Amino acid sequence: MDRDKVLQIVKQRGPVLPVQISKEINTNVYFASAMLSELVSAKKIQFSHAKFGGSPFYYVPGQEEKLQQLYDQLPSKEKQAFDLLKKEQVVHDRGLDPGLRVAFRQMHDFAQPVEATVHGRTEIFWGWYLCSPDEIHQRLQQIAERIPGPPQPEQQPAAPAPKPAPEAPAAAPESSHEGLREELLQQLREEMKKELKKAAPPSDREQLREMKRKEEDEKDAFLDRIRKYLQKKEIQVLEYQIIKRNSEADLVLSVPSSLGAAIYFCKARNKKTVTEADLQAALLAAQSRKLPSLLITTGELTKRAKEIAESELRGVTVKKLS
C-alpha cells in the first residue's frame, strides 16, 4: 500500500516534506499530504510546527534530534531563542526581553514550557526539547538560586533567604504543553499590548502583529463555521487562507471516500446569493491547482447559476452550509 511506503520513507529520511514524498511515490503533493495526515491521525508519525512553503515536516518518534535541521526555517527572533535555549538548556521566562518571550511561545518544536514555584511564586521556564525531566530539574535548581526573593519589610531584620528548591517537573504530554503554552501566550498578549507599541524594536512589533493576525484568523466566525461543518463530515483541512474576514476563504481539503482520501480545492463564500461568477471563480481557482472544485456557501444559487452548474460548470460541486 502507498501509506506503508510513505511510512517507510519517513522512517528512512525524516523529517520530510510532502513534496519529497510525492516525488518518491509519483503522485501530486496534495495526495501525499493527505496520506501523511492519515498517518498522523493514526499516531504513526508526527509533524513539526516549523514550516517550509506553508507545509510542516513529518517525522517518526526517535528523529526528534534531526528537527534541528529546520533551524533555517525559523523567523529571526526564534533563531535567537533557539540559540539561547540550546546553549543554556533552561531559561527563565521573566528575565527575557519581550521579543524572545513571544518567540519561545511560538517555538513549539524546540521549547517545552515548565512551571515551578520559587519563593512562593509560580515562575515559567523554557526547557530544551531534548532534555530529560531530571536534566531540566537540575538546571532549574541552579537558576532558581539566582532569582531574588520578595523584599523583606524594613522594620524586620533581614533573615537569610532559604535556597529555593523547585519540585522536579513531571513529564507532561504534548497536549498539556500546548494548553500551558496557549495560556502563557494569552497572558503575554495582555502584558505586551501597551508596552510593545511604545518601546519594542520593529522586529518585535512585527512578530506581535503576526501573532495577532493568527489569533484573528482563529476567531474568524465564518471560518469556524466552515471547520465545524467539515468536521461533522470527517473532512480534513490541509490548508486554508482567509481572503476576506467573515466572508470568503480558500481551503484545500482531504475528503474521505470508498477509494481513499480525495483532495479538493474549496471556495467558501458567506453571501446570500451565489452567481455564475462565483461558480466560475471556484472552478478557475481549482483548475489552477489541478484539483476538483468544491463551493461551500451560505446562500442560494441564482436561476442562471443553477442552469450553468448543471451544464457548463458541472466540474463545481456546490454545498449549502446548513
C-alpha cell recorded at residue 217: 484568523
pLDDT in the model for residue 287 = 85
Cα-only R_g, the chain: 24
pLDDT in the model for residue 1 = 55
C-alpha cell recorded at residue 198: 511604545
pLDDT in the model for residue 239 = 85
Q: Are strands 300-301 and 273-274 parallel, antiparallel or unpaired?
A: parallel
3-state class (DSSP) for residue 79: helix
- Domain span including residue 27: 2-72
Sequence-distant (≥ 6) Cβ neighbours of residue 146 within 8 angstroms: none
pTM over the 0.75 mark: no
Say whether both 6 and 125 belong to one domain.
Answer: no
Q: Are strands 248-255 and 262-269 parallel, antiparallel or unpaired?
A: antiparallel
The answer to the question of residue 294 being in a domain is yes
- Determine phi and psi for 151, rounding to 5 degrees: -65, 140
Say whether both 44 and 123 belong to one domain.
Answer: no
Residue 93 CA: distances (Å) to CA of 85, 98, 202: 11, 10, 21
Say whether both 209 and 86 belong to one domain.
Answer: yes
pLDDT in the model for residue 73 = 83
Task: Grade residue 53 by pLDDT with cuts at 50, 70 and 90.
Answer: low
The answer to the question of residue 315 being in a domain is yes
C-alpha cell recorded at residue 38: 492519515
The answer to the question of residue 53 being in a domain is yes
Say whether both 59 and 190 belong to one domain.
Answer: no
Say whether both 109 and 183 belong to one domain.
Answer: yes
Sequence-distant (≥ 6) Cβ neighbours of residue 173 within 8 angstroms: none
Q: Is 90 exceeded by the pLDDT of residue 141?
A: no
Say whether both 92 and 203 belong to one domain.
Answer: yes
pLDDT in the model for residue 295 = 94
Distant-in-sequence contacts of 96-104, Cβ < 8 A, 24+ apart:
97/204, 98/192, 98/195, 98/196, 98/200, 98/204, 99/200, 99/201, 99/203, 99/204, 99/207, 101/188, 101/192, 102/77, 102/188, 102/192, 102/204, 102/207, 102/208, 102/211, 103/75, 103/77, 103/78, 103/207
3-state class (DSSP) for residue 255: strand
Q: Which DSSP string do the residues of 258-295 spell out, in sequence order?
A: TTS-EEEEEEEE--SEE-HHHHHHHHHHHHHTT--EEE
Say whether both 103 and 63 belong to one domain.
Answer: no
The answer to the question of residue 162 being in a domain is no
Say whether both 179 and 263 belong to one domain.
Answer: no
Contact between residue 247 and residue 270 where contact means Cβ atoms under 8 Å apart: yes
The answer to the question of residue 158 being in a domain is no
What is the rounded end-to-end Cα distance, in angstroms, of the chain? 37
Domain count, the chain: 3
The answer to the question of residue 244 being in a domain is yes
Say whether both 117 and 27 belong to one domain.
Answer: no
**Top-confidence residue, 119 or 93:** 93
Q: Is 80 exceeded by the pLDDT of residue 241?
A: yes
Say whether both 80 and 59 belong to one domain.
Answer: no
Q: Is 70 exceeded by the pLDDT of residue 161?
A: no
Q: Is 50 exceeded by the pLDDT of residue 168?
A: no
Say whether both 83 and 206 belong to one domain.
Answer: yes
Domain end among 42, 72, 102: 72
Q: How much of the chain, in percent, has pLDDT values that exceed 70?
A: 78
Q: What angle do CA 166, 170, 171 make, to 5 degrees?
A: 140
The answer to the question of residue 229 being in a domain is yes
Cα–Cα distance between 181 and 175 in angstroms, integer?
10
Task: Grade residue 117 by pLDDT with cuts at 50, 70 and 90.
Answer: confident
Q: Is 70 exceeded by the pLDDT of residue 177?
A: no
Cα–Cα distance between 46 and 58 in angstroms, integer?
6
Q: What is the CATH number of the domain that holds 55?
A: 1.10.10.10
Domain end among 47, 72, 97: 72
Task: Grade residue 197 by pLDDT with cuts at 50, 70 and 90.
Answer: low
Mean pLDDT taken over the chain? 82
Q: Is 50 exceeded by the pLDDT of residue 17?
A: yes
Say whether both 173 and 45 belong to one domain.
Answer: no
Which segments of 107-201 does DSSP mark as H helices, in order? 133-144, 174-199
Contact between residue 249 and residue 223 where contact means Cβ atoms under 8 Å apart: yes
What mean pLDDT comes out for the span 266-281?
Answer: 91
The answer to the question of residue 159 being in a domain is no
Domain end among 72, 105, 131: 72
pLDDT in the model for residue 172 = 46
Contact between residue 116 and residue 123 where contact means Cβ atoms under 8 Å apart: yes
